[in-house]
Amino acid sequence: MKIKNFIGLVILVLFVPPAWGTVNVLDIRSWSAPEYTRIVVDLTGPAYYDLFELSEPNRVVIDLKEANPLLSKKEFIINDPVISRVRWGCFTPGTVRVVLDLVKPAETKVFTLKKFYDKPDRLVIDIFRSDLEKKEEEKRAVFQKKSRGTYIVVIDPGHGGEDPGALGKTGRKEKTITLEIAKKLRDAINRERNVKAFLTRENDYFIPLRRRWKIAKEYNADLFISIHVNAGFNQNKRGAEVYCLSLGGASQEAARILADQENSSDLIGGVDLASCPDGVDSILVGMEQTRTINDGLILGKITLEELKKVHSINFPEPLQAGFAVLKAPDIPSVLVEVGYLSNPQEEKSLSAYPFQTKIAEAIKTSTALFFKKIGGEVASVN
């Protein structure tokens, strides 16, 4: 639900109050993306709330009904281009008022998320600045007019924001390691002369899975590489794996389980399911899609060959399953699980600069070899 900002006061949303009484507010936090800021309220039950906007100064107010704040703090400063501060307190007995102080007028989108695994019931308020959104789009559109012989690679650091991904024993998070490796990979690719790399996210915030490959389309990408870190029950399991999209079933049960796990990212990271019409993710099966998947498999195979030189690999070929993040119809895409965070030794090496650099260099080399194979050279600057 996206609501145009306007002057005055409008009561927007009323949810059915929970019959069992008070919900506790457990936490309030924020995630800043380049064009919007997400505020997440953790609750012990479903939210019953009013939301309205006020001007002079611009602010968004959320009144949580039948609520009790279990928070020691009363505010936090954000100071990003969208929100300056978030503050809260008991407005009337049983009503917790949360106020978002805006930098400029903005659009508000609000939705609830049901309890999911270790995540409690959540109220999510996204504040968008359409002028900043336009700037991001313009930045990406520049590369749509790329010169002949220049390749674009979009690298997707898996997870982010509300969705930490896999967790290591010492607390390392998949979302942090994927971003660190993705940045090294981007920088390594950008040292090549006729290839340019971009990231789907540069910081710690969540991007819905479908939005990730759409960003690649906005860049007019030739390749899309999603970086992930695996985890399993067996602490000894280690090594890299490469996955590609499958139009039918999974090539192995393990690939299906992993795809289900990775696809649940939207439920953890927070996607307003009401705004996703059914079937929007269904793939247009055609010649182009088949060719795209075949090219993805070629890249996947080359990537495994390169990773094998610096790391152990678990399968000699890429495995295939219905990964939502790989569904770009016309961009060859792979998902690389660079190692196992559940293995204590691997958690250490995955966090270390030399190993991250080795992995990034191996994937970079595989992109250059892929472009060479499909009919062009990538000239190295060094």
Q: Which residues of this protein are in contact with Zn ion, per CB under 5 A?
A: 158, 165, 228
Q: Decide whether 140 or 327 has the Cβ nearer to Zn ion.
A: 327
Report, in Å, the least distance between residue 300 CB and Zn ion: 16
Report, in Å, the least distance between residue 335 CB and Zn ion: 8
Q: Decide whether 165 or 318 has the Cβ nearer to Zn ion.
A: 165
Q: Decide whether 158 or 239 has the Cβ nearer to Zn ion.
A: 158
Report, in Å, the least distance between residue 265 CB and Zn ion: 7
Q: Decide whether 122 or 228 has the Cβ nearer to Zn ion.
A: 228
> Any idea what the Cα angle at residue 122 is, between residues 160 and 171, rounded to 5°?
40
Spatial separation of the C-alpha atoms in residues 364 and 305, rounded to whole Å: 12
Name the residue number minimizing CB distance to Zn ion: 228
Beta strand pairing call for 151-157 and 121-128: unpaired
Report, in Å, the least distance between residue 22 CB and Zn ion: 36
Spatial separation of the C-alpha atoms in residues 238 and 27, rounded to whole Å: 35
Of 239, 237, 228, nearest in space to 321 by CA? 228
Q: Decide whether 42 or 337 has the Cβ nearer to Zn ion.
A: 337
Report, in Å, the least distance between residue 233 CB and Zn ion: 16
Sign (positive or negative) of CA dihedral 232, 237, 243, 246: negative
Of 202, 230, 43, nearest in space to 136 by CA? 202
Report, in Å, the least distance between residue 160 CB and Zn ion: 10
193 near 379, Cβ under 8 Å?
yes
- Number of residues written out for the chain: 382
334 near 371, Cβ under 8 Å?
no
Q: Decide whether 245 or 368 has the Cβ nearer to Zn ion.
A: 245
Report, in Å, the least distance between residue 12 CB and Zn ion: 34
Report, in Å, the least distance between residue 31 CB and Zn ion: 18
Query: Rg (Cα) of the chain, in Å, rounded?
Result: 22
Of 14, 264, 272, nearest in space to 128 by CA? 272
Q: Decide whether 228 or 238 has the Cβ nearer to Zn ion.
A: 228
Question: Using H for helix, E for strand and C for coil, what is the string for 176-213?
Answer: HHHHHHHHHHHHHHHCECCEEEEECCCCCCCCCHHHHH
Q: CA of 244: how far to CAs of 65, 226, 335, 336, 340, in Å?
A: 46, 10, 6, 9, 19
Q: Decide whether 173 or 228 has the Cβ nearer to Zn ion.
A: 228
